[in-house]
Amino acid sequence: MRDKKREVAEYIEIEGMPMEAIYELIERPQDLSKGDYALPCFRFAKTLRKSPVMIAEEIKNKILDKSHPFESVEAINGYLNFKFDKKKESLYLIENIRKQGAKYGSSDEGKGKTVCIDYSSINIAKPFHIGHLMTTVLGGALYRIYKKRGYNAVGINHLGDWGTQFGKLIVAYKMWGDEKTIRETGIMGLNDLYVKYHREAEKDKDLDDKARAWFKKIEDGDKEALKLFELFKELTLVEVEKVYKRLNIKFDSYAGESFYNDKMEPVLNELREKGLIEVSEGAEIVNLDEYQMPPCLLVRSDGATLYATRDLAAAFYRKKTYDFWKNLYVVAYQQNLHFKQVFKVVELMGYEWAKDLIHIPFGMVSLESGSMSTRAGNVVWLKDVLDRSEEQSLDIIKAKSPHLNNKETVSKQVGVGAVIFFALSSGRIKDTVFSYDEVLNFDGETGPYVQYTNARCNSVLRKAEVDIKNIPSGEIEADFSSIENESSYTLISILEQFGEILSISLDKYEPSILTRYLIDVAKAFNKFYLENRIIDGKLGVSNARLALVCSTAVVLKEGLSLLGIEAPEEM
């Protein structure tokens, strides 16, 4: 894949500065009228003992003294600005997208590298609520982008399928439930039982003892306990799969906490053999005082293991099974300390790959009325959010496009897309307050705006009586000088950044960079659309502009797809 930034770097010579260092400093100006790429020269002033203005001027003169591929090289206020030939760049971009189609933006940068992504990780017997949205769509977007860039991505749903809560659920089921009712009511029925248990447990403290006893039966392999445990798991997965399907989410592994029951002891034994485990008040810990962290608790005084024990076992299992290049954990920032402790324990065990264990934190979602609690029943179910978003989308489509075919299908694509785009539109680390007004805002910088722009591209292409895909192969007349104006070339410059944007999104583990980019593409296209007569002009002019419309549609559709959002051709 072409690297224009490197093409610029190769023409810059600075004493004592290797090309790779120069390459890292080259940037894209926010105002593309100033240039396609720029080198700020302020970093060199101290070393070269010259002003940035003088340095930029001297480098410019050296470049202009020899043959170069640039339309212009200008030194302005300490910046060295480079512009490529607009006509050649337009032709190159459109030809490149024509040849690659949906593969545009793909790369082999990840060839031979496996990335494990632990995301969503829902809890058995608890419905999918809005708090699960971020980990699910964030992990799903990273999964798809990694695949796009040539990595072997492994999506892992580390199910929360172990713990005392299952003892609580069995107690509630046996006291107030039955199999016929629970199969009819499914996961919502299980949740009602869970909420009722906690209400009753406040009045009857013996319930918690009964819950611990039932969980011990699960651990010991009791037939009745295991049968109920598997029933709860079955009902949960059937329901959450419906939500995953709507969000375009898939996993390669559902190995949850219970999967590691027989894989913890070997790790604990190794820790003991290496002298890393200490006994404190009957519990087994790894002391992390030296690293300004509390101890990592691995085995409680009653012999029970914890999340950290399972995460250690999971890390070793994934390294052995997948030989990962990176092992990512898409988990809320409230677990920052937990993962620092687990990663440090792996490091202390002497494993170099501890550095490849990476926590991808994100902010929490709360209701406008306060924080959420499954125990108290104060929660917004994700299914309800998607349903309401689809319903409102349908109302808008009926009002604005009454003659549109497949209104129901399009409303689902737009409604779900609005929720996903909302979740991924801000930096992942921010806390967000869930508001229907924000999620369902169809104006401005939203998913529906990007989807509508893609539909506008397709509308223009449908009106054209030419196979745009043959431009610029030479089979159809096209005048590329007609897309050298500012609005056309701004759009072209943004479209060519697609692959670069995907790499940056992965470097920062931040799909919001892609959502921001798609908004920029949509804005640039709509400006181009308003300022250029696309059809009904001269044949060559129309064809060149139509080719740019087609290129835009390819990038918008593929970009949305990487986020998990469908792109309807009509809206």
State pLDDT tens for residues 457-480.
999 999 987 776 666 666 667 888
Dihedral sign (CA 552, 553, 554, 555):
positive
CA 288, distance to chain mean position in Å, is: 32
- What per-residue confidence (pLDDT) applies to 375? 47
Nearest alpha-carbon partner for 147 in 109, 101, 198: 109
Percent of the chain, pLDDT > 70? 95
pLDDT for position 455? 95
Q: 268 falls in which pLDDT band (50, 70, 90)?
A: very high
Tokens of 254: 């559902």
Residue 16 has pLDDT above 90, yes or no: no
For residues 382-387, give the mean pLDDT. Answer: 89
Question: Does 174 have pLDDT greater than 90?
Answer: yes
pLDDT per residue over 400-432, tens digit each?
Answer: 899 998 999 999 999 999 999 999 998 899 887
Q: For 383-563, which CATH superfamily applies?
A: Isoleucyl-tRNA Synthetase; Domain 1 (1.10.730.10)
Is 172 a residue whose pLDDT tops 60? Answer: yes
Does domain 4-84 correspond to CATH entry 3.30.1360.70?
yes
CB atoms within 10 A of CB 469: 15
**Cβ proximity of 538 and 512 under 8 Å:** no
Cα 160 to Cα 120: distance, rounded to the nearest angstrom: 10
Domain limits, the chain:
4-84, 163-236, 383-563
What is the band of 66 on the pLDDT scale with cuts at 50, 70, 90? confident
Pick the residue with more confidence: 165 or 502? 502
| pLDDT score for 436 | 66
Other CB atoms within a 10 A radius of the CB of residue 370 amount to: 9
pLDDT value at position 3?
A: 84
Q: Band of the pLDDT at 368, cuts 50, 70, 90?
A: low
Give the predicted TM-score (pTM) of the model: 0.90
**What's the rounded mean pLDDT across residues 426-453?**
81
Residue 321 confidence (pLDDT): 98
**Cα dist from 501 to 237, 314, 511, 539, whole Å:** 35, 32, 9, 34
Q: In what order do the strands lie in the sheet with 357-360?
A: 152-156, 114-118, 326-330, 357-360
The whole-number pLDDT of residue 86 equals 86
pLDDT value at residue 81: 95
Residue 349: the pLDDT is 98
**533 CB contacts (<8 Å, ≥6 apart)?**
none
Summarize the confidence of residues 438-456 as an average pLDDT. 85
String of DSSP letters for 104-130: TT--STTTT-EEEEE---PBTTS--BG
Q: What are the DSSP calls for 11-79, one per residue?
A: T--BTTB-HHHHHHH-B--SSTTS-SEEEE-GGGHHHHTS-HHHHHHHHHHHHHTS---EEEEEEETTE
Q: Are 129 and 372 in contact (CB under 8 A)?
A: yes
Mean pLDDT of 39-57: 92
Other C-beta atoms closer than 10 Å to the C-beta of 216 total 15
